[in-house]
Structures are given as structure tokens and as C-alpha cells.
């Protein structure tokens, strides 16, 4: 791959925001059947919509809970990572 090809490929991918990284955890948990809260808000964040700061904090809190629940189980982490990759593609961020 030439430098120009790499630059073109990189430029085509939207940067992931911190909020979207938190939203991804919530959406991955939803795909895993864990029934997290704030899925609709996480979807809005992934689409780049503005959300109220308290809503953002709620999604972030839910993402932390999901992380803490999954972190000690390598199989669940692998499953969540698979869903995250799919979600990144779905939202045009990969």
C-alpha cells in the first residue's frame, strides 16, 4: 500500500469519539442479550446526535457496569469485541 492509499483509507473512516466508545459497550451488551439500559441513547450517540449531558453520563455509567461485568470472562470479552467490530462497520466507523 502506498502512502496515498493509506491516507485515503484513513481519511474515509470517521474518528470515534469518547462518547461513541462508551455507547459501543452498551450496544454490544444489548447484542449479547444482557438488556442494558440506555440503548436508544447509545444508538443516537453512535449516529453523532447530540444528547443531554445527563444522558451522556447515564450511558457512560451503563458502559462502566457492562465493562465490569464482562472484564473477568475472556469468552464474554471476545464475544463483545466481535459485536463492537460489527457495530463499528454498521455505523461507518471502521
Q: Could you tell me if residue 8 is inside a domain?
A: no
Structural domain that includes position 86: 13-90
**Other Cβ atoms within 10 Å of 35 Cβ, number:** 8
Q: Could you tell me if residue 4 is inside a domain?
A: no
The more confident residue out of 4 and 36 is 36
Domains identified in the chain, total number: 1
CB-side exposure of 79: number of CA atoms within 13 Å? 15
Nearest to 23 by CA among 69, 87, 94: 87
| pLDDT tens-digit map of 20-73 | 999 999 999 999 999 999 999 999 999 999 999 999 999 999 999 999 999 999
The more confident residue out of 44 and 94 is 44
User: What pTM was computed for the model?
Assistant: 0.85
Query: For the chain, how are helix, strand and coil distributed in percent, rounded to 5?
Result: 70, 0, 30
Amino acid at each position: 500500500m502506498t502512502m496515498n492509499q493509506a491516507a485515503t483509507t484513513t481519511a474515509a473512516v470517521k474518528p470515534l469519539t469518547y462518547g461513541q466508545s462508551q455507547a459501543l459497550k452498551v450496544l454490544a451488551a444489548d447484542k449479547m442479550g444482557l438488556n442494558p439500559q440506555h440503548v436508544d441513547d447509545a444508538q443516537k450517540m453512535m449516529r453523532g446526535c447530540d444528547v443531554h449531558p445527563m444522558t451522556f453520563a447515564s450511558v457512560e455509567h451503563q458502559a462502566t457496569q457492562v465493562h465490569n461485568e464482562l472484564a473477568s470472562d475472556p469468552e464474554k470479552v471476545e464475544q463483545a469485541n466481535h459485536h463492537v467490530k460489527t457495530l463499528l462497520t454498521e455505523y461507518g466507523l471502521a
